[in-house]
Amino acid sequence: MSDIPVSDADLFDDEARLDPYPIYAELRDRGPVVLMARHGHYALPRYADVRTALMDWRTFSSARSVFVDEQMNANLEGITLCSDPPDHTTMRSVLGRPLRPDRMREITPTIEAEADHIVDRVVAAGRFDAATELAEHLPMAVVATLVGLGEGNRGKMLEWAAAIWDVQGPANQRFQDAMPQVEEFLAFAQNDAVPGRIDPDGWAAHLYQAADRGELPREKCPVMMLDYVTPSLDTTILGITSTIALFARHPEQWDLLRADRSLIPHAINESLRIETPVPQFTRVLTEDHEIDGVALGKGSRVALLYGSANRDERKYPDPDRFDITRKPSDHLAFGRGEHVCVGMHLARLEMSALLERLADRVARFEIVSEEPLINNGLRGFKHLEVTIS
Ligand code: HEM
């Protein structure tokens, strides 16, 4: 049995949030499993181990939640993201209904019309913030409306979501600062986002209708709202903004995409691989388990470092190079297995609608200024001002 290397790195301090990649590379070098001493959990930094863990929910359980702080984990147990079959299967089948590929076909015309509208606007402006003026548009105009929590609460959804992502890390200052917003959102979900006060045709209302038909326990509905609000906006906004930044820095890749539109799905995968918006979730071992000759005890919390796995040189040669002809459809930015992102078809639809239209109209992106987002659960840009030609 090998000893487990210990790392003193804090993946949640500002420096690591700004640039986690040197730390990830060091963790991958140290071994298949590393003890992250600051926060008292283990981490899997290599692709093969993360993928194997994702495919084995019986051993790597989500039921004791998938974040870092144990108090927060106890509070959020039982949402779809934090459950195992059979509960997970029941919740996911209801939650995933409006996100199935056939339902995506119904909303494609709306997404395309909104993509036309926003691309016209930014092209006319010539200079714009790719995060707030371009990337936010589709998630806010289409997805927030589909969730259906009411016009007045749409603006709040981004703040609530960012706060929930911040409490997915350890109880650092960012976590503490986010708590009032998290409490406000939980109270809203419990007391205000109830039938009669939300759009009866929205995804949120459909949860209650499923409960009325006996498909779900009714007490699950408020917490399942978190499953819609938290992951549906920022993730995609960050994915779109990082994609623009990557193309601004690699104009030859943009030329490739403009010359061959069949590369768009591969460009989306490559962008999510190299700048993974959700860098990690955790699991808890349901039994003693050995990973590549390293023994871990039952009850250990293990972080699956998606952001590191996606840059593992054992899997992707020259992993720091952005190359849209690489076609990395097996990246782990959407997870894998039982909990694989249920919104990935929607995210891909939004991203490709924008890239199609930008490819028609934009020859070059130039970055004027940038501000990274520092959040405990997400990675990307808060602002990215660009000019286009
Ligand atoms: C680029 C955009 C996105 C990224 C990078 C992303 C990432 C992820 C990841 C990594 C997971 C796996 C969680 C795990 O391993 O435990 C996940 C699950 C999930 N995602 Fe996404 N996501 C994106 C967009 C969306 C959208 C648009 C929605 C729409 C509602 C969504 C809803 C969900 C839900 C509900 C789950 C939980 C699924 C389950 O536990 O079975 N995501 N996402």
Nearest protein Cα to ligand 1, atom 16: 339
Residue range 239-276, pLDDT digits in tens: 999 999 999 999 999 999 999 999 999 999 999 999 99
Residue range 60-70, pLDDT digits in tens: 999 999 999 99
Residue range 313-339, pLDDT digits in tens: 999 999 999 999 999 999 999 999 999
Q: How far apart are CA 36 and CA 40, in angstroms?
A: 6
Q: Is residue 232 lining ligand 1, measured as CB closer than 6 Å?
A: yes
Residue range 112-169, pLDDT digits in tens: 999 999 999 999 999 999 999 999 999 999 988 999 988 878 888 899 999 999 999 9
In a domain, 268, yes or no: yes
Nearest 5°: the CA angle 121, 278, 174 is 95
Residue 135 in 3-state DSSP?
helix
In a domain, 88, yes or no: yes
Total domains in the fold of the chain: 1
Q: Is residue 98 lining ligand 1, measured as CB closer than 6 Å?
A: no
Contacts of 28 (CB under 8 A, 6+ apart): 45, 46, 308, 312, 313, 314
- What's residue 384's pLDDT? 98
pLDDT confidence tier of residue 346, bands split at 50, 70 and 90: very high
- What's residue 87's pLDDT? 94
**Span from the CA of 297 to the centroid of ligand 1 (angstroms):** 28
pTM, 2 dp? 0.97
Q: Phi and psi dihedrals of 361, rounded to 5?
A: -115, -20
**Span from the CA of 318 to the centroid of ligand 1 (angstroms):** 27
CATH number for the domain harbouring residue 346: 1.10.630.10
Nearest protein Cα to ligand 1, atom 3: 235
Q: Is residue 378 lining ligand 1, measured as CB closer than 6 Å?
A: no
- What's residue 77's pLDDT? 85
Q: Is residue 81 lining ligand 1, measured as CB closer than 6 Å?
A: yes
In a domain, 1, yes or no: no
Residue 1 has pLDDT above 80, yes or no: no
The average confidence (pLDDT) of the chain is 96
Q: Is residue 279 lining ligand 1, measured as CB closer than 6 Å?
A: no
Residue range 25-47, pLDDT digits in tens: 999 999 999 999 999 999 999 99
Query: Which residue segment(s) compose the domain that 178 sits in?
Result: 6-388
DSSP string over 305-346: EHHHHTT-TTTSSSTTS--TTS--TT-STT--GGG--TTHHH
In a domain, 42, yes or no: yes
- What's residue 122's pLDDT? 98
Pocket test for ligand 1, best of 229, 235, 308, 340 (most atoms within 8 A of CB): 235
In a domain, 362, yes or no: yes
**Span from the CA of 280 to the centroid of ligand 1 (angstroms):** 12
Q: Is residue 294 lining ligand 1, measured as CB closer than 6 Å?
A: no
Distance of CA 307 to the CA centre of its chain: 11
- What's residue 12's pLDDT? 98
Residue range 159-199, pLDDT digits in tens: 999 999 999 999 999 999 999 999 999 999 999 889 999 99
Q: Is residue 347 lining ligand 1, measured as CB closer than 6 Å?
A: yes
